[in-house]
Amino acid sequence: MQIRIAGLVPESYVDGAGIRFAIFMQGCLRNCEGCHNPETHALDGGRLMNTAEIISAIKRNTLLDGITLTGGEPFLQIDSANEIARAVKNFGLNVWCYTGFIFENLPPDAAPLLRNIDVLIDGEFIESQRDLELQFRGSRNQRIIDLNKTREQNKIVLWTENGG
């Protein structure tokens, strides 16, 4: 399956907890003021890659804790993002994902990908709520949601570093 990407960061320390393979997906329709990655917006920009190629690069790095789907908007390429997410879960890695959608407003076809995501950072970047002190998110409106606990408890549970 093909995936349109803006870039890959094979070892990232800033896109979630631990050492992560970050996939910057190409395409976003939001145009948030102050967006840090405007080059990821064009739906026909970036480059096409095979998901299998990305999956094998992830598999080769035994130091990774997980992967991060970011962008761009991962939920514009649900099937290809899910192919990667599903594969890496089988390697025992965790999956973080950034989205401009609010969790409660994700489209219905997001469900298969959501099931393979452990942590979701949701909401648009809002420049007036930007805060450089925040860990793993750009503006205060964004939430780092622990989706495993959210599913277990059937209510939004935020991620915390120590899992508590």
Interface residue list for ligand SF4 (CB under 6 A): 28, 30-32, 35, 37, 40, 71-73, 100, 124-125
Q: Can you say whether the dihedral through the CA atoms of 99, 101, 102, 107 is positive or negative?
A: negative
Which tokens in the block code for residue 136? 């793993």
What minimum distance in Å lies between the beta carbon of 70 and ligand SF4?
8
Show the DSSP H helices in 21-159 as ranges: 51-60, 78-90, 111-115, 147-153
Nearer to ligand SF4, 5 or 28 (CB): 28
Nearer to ligand SF4, 30 or 47 (CB): 30
Nearer to ligand SF4, 17 or 32 (CB): 32
What minimum distance in Å lies between the beta carbon of 1 and ligand SF4?
22
Question: With DSSP H G I counted as helix, E B as strand and the rest as coil, what are the percentages for the chain, rounded to 5?
Answer: 30, 25, 45
Nearer to ligand SF4, 104 or 161 (CB): 104
What minimum distance in Å lies between the beta carbon of 71 and ligand SF4?
5
Closest by alpha carbon to 4, among 49, 38, 68? 49
